[in-house]
Structure 1
Amino acid sequence: MNPFRSVGETLDSFNNVNVYYNGAVNNVEKRNVTKDGYNLGLQYQCVEFVKRYYYEYLQHKMPDSYGHAKDFFNPNIKDGKRNTQRNLIQYTNGSMSKPKVNDIVVFQASWYNSFGHVAIVMEVTQNTVTIIQQNAGPFSNTRVSYDLIQENNRWKISNSKIVGWLRKE
């Protein structure tokens, strides 16, 4: 735990949707559910921020409101096709479609994080993608930039853990 932060403390925001401190990445306070009964996820987790952002800022409810971060990306869906569980268009990391602001970036599970990770794209330039994230770790930054590479008419975010991104049309 970070002794300089408190669980639930506002760390950052994007489009008036707050990013909160969660302490240890596996800390669970409670489930966050909207007034109309829509499940946003476990409070202060990365999924909860992404779903809360899509719900509050983009007025989007995902048909499947459950699952871990890694479950947001379906490897059986072709690049540029609809992910019906999320009702979003899915792109592989190495897509003909360049990431855009408000896209959800999906990180695969790893030995130290079996649940994966999700974040929101907040800025895209010709050479970089900047994400905003919740619950990346007690000392991690809420904003991180990655190199964006274009090769053979395909766009790739240079992080081997990123499997792709999802977009509301």
Structure 2
Amino acid sequence: MGNLCNKEPAVAGIVDNVPAYYNRGINFRSNYITIDNRQLFTGMRFQCVEYARRYLILTKGVLFGDVNCAYHIFDLHTVTDVLTQQQRQFQSIPQGSPIPPQKGDLVIYQKSSKQWWGHVAVVTNVDGNLVDLAEQNYDEDWDHCNYARQVLLKKEANNYFLTNIRQYKPHSWDLNENIIGWKRVI
């Protein structure tokens, strides 16, 4: 058996021209992308935070600050425009809010026994009560979809609750994960 730490990452899927990887046991090291002749730190290679940060840089031109854990993203208040260096609002929308998730939002999961650092996923589509999530290092193969998983959005009274109820390929431990809410660049 070969050393998993020397294997190249596998592309799990691509959405909005931003590839997501499955790390396959690769050593953790910093990852950077170059924008406007500057190297921007995106995070630890092939982890969920790295994908979320890279997605926002490449699709919205903004960068959120360093965090120790994925669930700490929910506590951030601003992002930085990578070209102008101007601060923009990074709105926190708690689970159960009257504001539904929309494309480009980051869904933030609390830490748990299965996800010690929490988790973050990117909303890539909302179609009625179905929400598509793109994420890195969660599912090895997106099965040629433009999302890693598709989950149900429930509305109770005037409040929205994003569930972990997958529409295909369910994982039993998904149901125990707690969604804090979603973040939106304003």
TM-score range for the pair, normalised by the shorter chain length: 0.7 to 0.9
Aligned to 2:33: 34
Tell me which protein shows more helix as a share of its residues.
2
Q: Is the 8 A contact 1:68 1:115 kept in 2?
A: yes
Q: Is the 8 A contact 1:11 1:18 kept in 2?
A: yes
Tell me which protein shows more strand as a share of its residues.
2
After superposition, give the CA deviation of every residue in 1:74-95 in whole Å (9 maximum; x if it has no partner): 3xxxxxxxx4254411101111
157-166 vs 110-119, which moves further: 157-166
User: When the two structures are superposed, what TM-score results if normalisation uses the length of structure 1?
Assistant: 0.81
Aligned to 2:22: 21
After superposition, give the CA deviation of every residue in 1:8-48 in whole Å (9 maximum; x if it has no partner): 22221110000112014xx5331012332322100000110
138-147 vs 35-44, which moves further: 138-147
Larger radius of gyration: 2
Q: Which amino acid aligns with 2:161?
A: K
27-36 vs 101-110, which moves further: 27-36
User: When the two structures are superposed, what TM-score results if normalisation uses the length of structure 2?
Assistant: 0.74
Please report how far the alpha carbon of residue 137 of structure 1 lies from its aligned counterpart in structure 2 after TM superposition: 5.2
Please report how far the alpha carbon of residue 138 of structure 1 lies from its aligned counterpart in structure 2 after TM superposition: 5.0
CA RMSD of aligned residues (A): 2.2
Unaligned runs of 5+ in 1: 75-82
Aligned to 1:84: 77
Please report how far the alpha carbon of residue 7 of structure 1 lies from its aligned counterpart in structure 2 after TM superposition: 3.6
Q: Is the 8 A contact 1:17 1:53 kept in 2?
A: yes
After superposition, give the CA deviation of every residue in 1:83-133 in whole Å (9 maximum; x if it has no partner): 425441110111111100111001111012210110100111221111011
Please report how far the alpha carbon of residue 167 of structure 1 lies from its aligned counterpart in structure 2 after TM superposition: 0.8
Matches within 5 A, 1:101-116: 101-116=103-118
Instruction: Figure out how many residues of one structure are paired with residues of the other and give that number.
Output: 154
